[in-house]
Structure 1
Amino acid sequence: MRKVSFAEFGGPDVLHLIDAEEPHAGRGRIRITVRAAGVNPVDWRIREGQILGAHPTVLPSGVGQDAAGVVDEVGEDVEGVAIGDRVFGEGAATYAEFAVLSAWARMPEGLTFEEAAGYPSVVETALRVIREVGVRPGQTLLVSGASGGVGSAVLQIARHQGIAVIGTAGAANQDYLRSLGATATTYGEGWTERVRQLGRVDAALDLAGSGVIRELVELTGDPRKVLSIADLGAPEFGVRFSGVAGSMPDALAEAADLIARGELHIPVEKSYTLAEAAAAHIDSHAGHTRGRRVLVI
């Protein structure tokens, strides 16, 4: 089979499309024929060797965690899923023609493989950070870098939970944020004053890692009310960095339910082939995403 792999840590140029042996489903796992794989910032952080503590990596290594496809192997002790089922979920080395998943859910009706591949990690992250930052119904959450995949999920899930959201993004994404139920404003010079004019901020999330931790602490008045998933220097300001995933099966079940009820939709901004994985990482690293980026196999 074909898969994307890297044999050394480094920039996008270390990624190569290679021929490799097919993986097989072990106990408690399923294998899918991958139709699409999600591209996440954690993928290029692992490739660069940034987060080896949280993600130990043995070289050479495959790439990717999220995927959607068709079940073609079911491991021992797996129940409730059969060969031929359309599923989305989390696994390892998902930038490939076949991948083994450790957590999965059936795809909701009407969802394409391309769309489904964009949900697993971002929904788990969105659910986790809303919970960890401690924001409650009736309060206001500020989201810095709100137009990407995680931001898109946070805005919709927060709205569903009765939490008001102020989102920052580029000028081109203001209407997009409003369509997801957020009060939108642009980042850049004077952004903190623009946020203050919109009202009280009870908690804040840094999703972009754009160097705004100090300002988020000032806006909330308490570093314990700020959480980052993108700025490794956040703890220097007393702000928690959230990088340890929670229950993916629970997140997938909730995602499937929200999608089926029309409460959650994350658009795919751009699709790539396996051979274009390096370009996908370059674009992901650059940010300014509206929704998700995925590889289509």
Structure 2
Amino acid sequence: MRQIVYNVTGAPEVLHLVERDIQFPAADEVRVCVMVSGVNPTDWKSRRGSKDGEALPFAEVVPNQDGAGVIDAIGEGVTEFAVGDRVWLMLAAWQRASGGTAQDHTVVSIDRVRHLPDGVSFELGASLGVPAVTAHRALTVSEDGPSRLAPGALAGKTVLVAGGAGAVGHAAIQLARWAGATVITTISSSAKADLATAAGAHHVVNYREGNAATEIRALAPNGVDLIVEVSPVQNSALNLAVIANRGSIAVYANNGGDALILDIRSHFSLNIRYQFLLLYTVGQAALDAAAEDITAALLDDALPIGEGAGLPLHHFTLEETAAAHAAVENDIVGKVLITLSPTFQRFS
């Protein structure tokens, strides 16, 4: 089978195509014929490592956490899935060096696999994983908010999504809207404003024009209840200016810097909660809850993709995986997908 691997950290060029024998699932594992592999920032950051040329703990690594496909083999003890089931994958590369989705077939444990409802494209399935699970976690950590998402779960709440044109921001807008929140998002251009609006944001604020804090306060006089934050260092002053009493700021990335300095008195006077989140260590219970709610949202057609839904798609072949990684590393707007199956029908 075809497989993309890398043996040392570095630029996209460390990725190369190899032929390997097909693997077989052990107990509590399934093998998935991958139709589409999704590329996320975490994938290129793992490939880059702390410095170029750094040795890996494994002989070689198969990249990419997310994907979708069809189960073609099951291991002993597996009862939740059967051969022929359509599925979406999350954190596939985290469990083993060879578990990534940049290959024709991947073997993963069943806690990384979820049923993909009939009628939901493999493209959409491969676009969930890291973005949607991250967004779900960010939307469910507020002290006064829900621990699960469903229609009405966020009714009466105002959510601010920083960077609404990104993949996580896009998913956060859609999930918050599905759960009944009023959604405000910040963006940096009119083109990104169009995407965030298409995703379902009620209000869009360009932080490069005018006074973002004033605009957001005009939309939410009592403050926003929850902030989904991608750039905590850059946005700390804005967040403090617009957060409601007992509000929460869910931080899922460190764009713009690693050192965050906060004025203690200003924050404790408002009972503000900062919640940092990382999917790799969040725990299986949180992953399971997110996957279940995301699948429910899929059934409600609440997570569409494509430019018309606010998330442009960029397609690559498996042989073009290095270019796909480079596109994400260079901050391309939208979702980068790698198509593996020659019979795959592109999402329209």
Report the TM-score, using the length of structure 2 for normalisation: 0.75
Report whether the alignment pairs 1:254 with 2:272.
no
Structure-to-structure mapping, 1:156-171, within 5 angstroms:
156-169=174-187, 170-171=189-190
Q: CA deviation at 1:20?
A: 2.7
Check conservation: 1:213, 1:234, Cα contact below 8 A. Answer: no
Task: Tell me which residue corresponds to 1:241.
Answer: 276
Identical counterparts, % of pairs: 29
TM-aligned CA deviation for residue 49 of structure 1:
1.6
Q: Rg larger in 1 or in 2?
A: 2
> Paired residue for 2:118?
109
1:282 aligns with 2:320: no
Equivalent residue, structure 1, for 2:345: none
Q: Which amino acid aligns with 2:219?
A: L
Q: Distance in 1 between matches of 2:258 and 2:333?
A: 22
Q: How many residues align?
A: 292
Of residues 284, 289, 294, the one that matches 2:337 is: 294
CA distance in 1, matches of 2:226, 2:324: 32
Please give the per-residue CA displacement for 1:209-247, whole angstroms capped at 9, x wherever unaligned.
Answer: 783344334432789732221207556335543113444
How do 1:54-133 residues align onto structure 2 when only pairs under 5 Å count? Answer: 58-90=58-90, 91=92, 92-102=99-109, 103-133=112-142
1:198 aligns with 2:219: yes
Letter in 2 for 1:175: D
**Could you tell me which residue of structure 1 aligns to residue 238 of structure 2?**
215
Give the aligned partner of residue 195 of structure 2.
Answer: 176
How far apart in 1 are the matches of 2:301 and 2:16? 38
Shift of 1:189: 4.8
Partner of 1:148: 166
Distance 2:198 2:301 in 1: 14
Partner of 1:186: 206
Who is 1:21 aligned against? 21
Per the alignment, residue 230 of structure 1 pairs with: 253
More moved, 170-179 vs 3-12: 170-179
Q: Using a 3 Å threshold, how does the CA distance of structure 1 residues 122 and 289 change in structure 2: closer, same or farther? A: same
Partner SS, residue 76 of structure 1: coil
Structure 1 unaligned regions, length at least 5: none
Q: Is the 8 A contact 1:39 1:281 kept in 2?
A: yes
TM-aligned CA distance change 1:139 to 1:279, over 3 Å: same
Normalised to the residue count of structure 1, the TM-score between the two structures is 0.87
Measure, in 1, the Cα distance between the counterparts of 2:176 and 2:275. Answer: 20
SS in 1 for 2:141: helix
Equivalence for 1:272: 316
Q: Kindly provide the amino acid, as one letter, of the partner of residue 293 in structure 1.
A: V
Using CA pairs below 8 Å that are at least 6 residues apart, which structure has the higher relative contact order? 1
RMSD: 2.7
Other structure's SS at 1:153 match: helix
Deviation at 1:42, TM superposition (A): 1.0
Amino acid corresponding to residue 64 of structure 1 in structure 2: N
Separation in 2, partners of 1:250, 1:31? 23
Q: CA deviation at 1:208?
A: 5.8
Point out where structure 2 has 5 or more consecutive residues left out of the alignment.
93-98, 146-153, 263-273, 307-311, 341-348
Q: 1:114 to 1:38 in 2, by over 3 A?
A: same
CA distance in 1, matches of 2:315, 2:60: 25
